[in-house]
Chain A
């Protein structure tokens, strides 16, 4: 299943040679197929079973394993669903932003990115994980670069350099682990590590730290987030949605996997690592929101908001409790819905009006009610108002904080909700309530292929907010497998 998008990605440039316009539709078909396969796998795994596949029929520990456990299933269904929706969205926006002869390559990178992310989620082998990290990273940079403008080029170089530093750290950490355990399969490393842990405490700490830094650079944990605002704001709209909503998340999930599967949950609380994560994530939440408030370009504002949200997720991780983990995973999924929705709105606004500066948004509610309505819903969800998805994850986060009696964190969560409001609500307010001499309601003049995914995402968000049951069971399964073993 992972091979399928890979092969198609290589076929893509050939397609592009002959017919430039067809690429986007083919991508759409491919992502649709992958989504169906992923959902099927997810349904198989919901009752809590796992499902292991050995590549080349070499049994572990000699071969590479692909595992579909609840966490992977959750993530692959999320990833494929969004890739499909964003592919739909991108049919029109890419035509607008990327030079025509490069469209084929854009979709090549897109499909390769999908391959990388899926591989990253499914693999149970640490070196395969590194390979997938690289694939994903390079393709993400390519997607940022697609526009070819000055800012995009600068931003992508910055992203590339920092991503390479991150990969270097990850590789280094893998080297440490290998030198101590001699295994590459995650489960086997965990077993070995349990045995040798007491002999090499400093090495284990170093390895954990390097993993944190390496994945933190790629996931944009404060203060390693410096590449994110530039990259996400100068990328084409479809790429920004992908990057913000999915790519940074897969890195966090990989980190989660490594920490919980390899090192074990007691490592987080037993070492200074947990405290460090808590400090960094709190700074991320506050800092990201404050920076977001000062940005005028909508995409930069959303990018800084991503920094803050990543902070939330790490906060959930750093707490080290099972509710914290549930909260983190929930927020990964829900934030994907929210961010993708927000970036899609940004895309539709740009498509129709060409505006990117937030100050010019006044009165937009009347010409583009559907888009701004979606924006409102996503913003309310970001702030954490009940009935929308964001509330669920914030509530879980607060619950997790109370488990460890970190009441300061509960206050932080609430406070950050207010901070979030400070930079989202003005846009909403301006859009609907300021004076502009437009009396009639027009509907957006945006093509259906852009509106449909936006509506799908928004409806999904509301649905999750009102009836989170099925998703909660999936996430709880995932969390319990991580914490207590399969």
Chain B
């Protein structure tokens, strides 16, 4: 879905949002994989060690992914700003014509 946004939207800002949507959806996918139905949050409290908890590994991976996604978004926005300064527009159609 995020892919579609990136590819079809004309407004550059929306494209960047599209990246975010796509990355977030992938993270949700990861989360969904790690879920076990009767599980609770993976925090171990003294005296309650045997409770089934959700696999914590995907959460670590997703955390890394969120960091990456955030920095990429920041970078993309910075480039967009600089493009705006050059061309005065954030619409890809007009950019193409102005080349």
Q: Which residues of B contact A255 (CB under 8 A)?
A: none
Candidates B33, B65, B72, B87; contact of A160 at CB < 8 Å: B72
A178 to B33, CA, bound (A): 9
A172 close to chain B: CB less than 8 A: yes
Candidates A134, A157, A165; contact of B68 at CB < 8 Å: A134
Instruction: Tell me whether B22 and A168 are in contact (CB under 8 A).
Output: yes
Instruction: Tell me whether B23 and A164 are in contact (CB under 8 A).
Output: yes
CB distance from A209 to the nearest CB of B (A): 14
Instruction: Tell me whether B76 and A157 are in contact (CB under 8 A).
Output: yes
Instruction: Tell me whether B64 and A131 are in contact (CB under 8 A).
Output: yes
Instruction: Tell me whether A179 and B2 are in contact (CB under 8 A).
Output: no
How many chain B residues have a CB neighbour from A under 8 Å?
A: 29
A165 to B71, CA, bound (A): 15
Nearest neighbor of B18 in chain A, beta-carbon distance: A161
Instruction: Tell me whether A138 and B79 are in contact (CB under 8 A).
Output: no
Task: Report if A171-B80 is in contact (Cβ < 8 Å); known contacts: A127-B64, A178-B33.
Answer: no
Q: How many A-B residue pairs have CB under 8 A?
A: 66
Candidates B22, B79, B82; contact of A165 at CB < 8 Å: B22
Q: Which residues of B contact A156 (CB under 8 A)?
A: 79
CB distance from B65 to the nearest CB of A (A): 6
Instruction: Tell me whether A171 and B58 are in contact (CB under 8 A).
Output: no
Interface SS of A by simple majority? helix
A447 close to chain B: CB less than 8 A: no
Q: Which residues of A contact B30 (CB under 8 A)?
A: 175, 178
Interface string of B58-96 (1 = CB under 8 A from A): 100100110010011001100110110011000000010
Candidates B3, B15, B57, B83; contact of A153 at CB < 8 Å: B83
Interface string of A125-154 (1 = CB under 8 A from B): 001001100100010011001001010011
Interface SS of B by simple majority? helix
Instruction: Tell me whether B86 and A160 are in contact (CB under 8 A).
Output: no
Q: Which residues of A contact B75 (CB under 8 A)?
A: 138, 141-142, 160
CB distance from B56 to the nearest CB of A (A): 13
Candidates A130, A138, A172, A178; contact of B58 at CB < 8 Å: A178
A142 to B75, CA, bound (A): 9
Task: Report if A164-B19 is in contact (Cβ < 8 Å); known contacts: A138-B75, A154-B95.
Answer: yes
Instruction: Tell me whether B87 and A150 are in contact (CB under 8 A).
Output: yes
Q: Which residues of A contact B6 (CB under 8 A)?
A: 161, 165
A179 to B30, CA, bound (A): 8
Q: Which residues of B contact A145 (CB under 8 A)?
A: 79
B26 close to chain A: CB less than 8 A: yes
| Interface size band for A | 20 to 34
Task: Report if A172-B68 is in contact (Cβ < 8 Å); known contacts: A153-B79, A161-B76.
Answer: no
Q: Which residues of B contact A179 (CB under 8 A)?
A: 33
CB distance from A469 to the nearest CB of B (A): 42
Nearest neighbor of A171 in chain B, beta-carbon distance: B26
CB distance from A115 to the nearest CB of B (A): 15
A171 to B61, CA, bound (A): 10
Candidates A130, A131, A175, A184; contact of B33 at CB < 8 Å: A175
Q: Which residues of A contact B71 (CB under 8 A)?
A: 138
Candidates B3, B22, B29, B72; contact of A175 at CB < 8 Å: B29
A138 to B19, CA, bound (A): 14
Task: Report if A168-B82 is in contact (Cβ < 8 Å); known contacts: A127-B61, A131-B68, A138-B75.
Answer: no
User: Within residues 8 to 28 of chain B, which ones have a CB less than 8 A from any CB in chain A?
Assistant: 12, 15, 19, 22-23, 26
Task: Report if A168-B23 is in contact (Cβ < 8 Å); known contacts: A157-B79, A160-B75.
Answer: yes
Candidates A127, A131, A164, A178; contact of B72 at CB < 8 Å: A164
Q: Which residues of A contact B83 (CB under 8 A)?
A: 153-154, 157
Task: Report if A150-B86 is in contact (Cβ < 8 Å); known contacts: A160-B79, A171-B65.
Answer: yes
CB distance from A264 to the nearest CB of B (A): 23
Q: Which residues of A contact B80 (CB under 8 A)?
A: 157
Would you give 11 A-B contacts (Cβ < 8 Å), ordered by A? Answer: A130-B65, A131-B64, A138-B72, A142-B75, A145-B79, A150-B86, A161-B15, A164-B72, A165-B3, A168-B23, A171-B23
A interface list, Cβ under 8 A from B = 127, 130-131, 134, 138, 141-142, 145, 148, 150, 153-154, 156-157, 160-161, 164-165, 167-168, 171-172, 175, 178-179, 184
**A127-B64, A148-B82 given; 7 more Cβ-contact pairs under 8 Å:** A153-B86, A156-B79, A157-B12, A164-B23, A168-B22, A175-B30, A178-B58
Ranked 3 nearest A-B pairs via Cβ = A179-B33, A157-B79, A134-B68
B interface list, Cβ under 8 A from A = 2-3, 6, 12, 15, 19, 22-23, 26, 29-30, 33, 57-58, 61, 64-65, 68, 71-72, 75-76, 79-80, 82-83, 86-87, 95
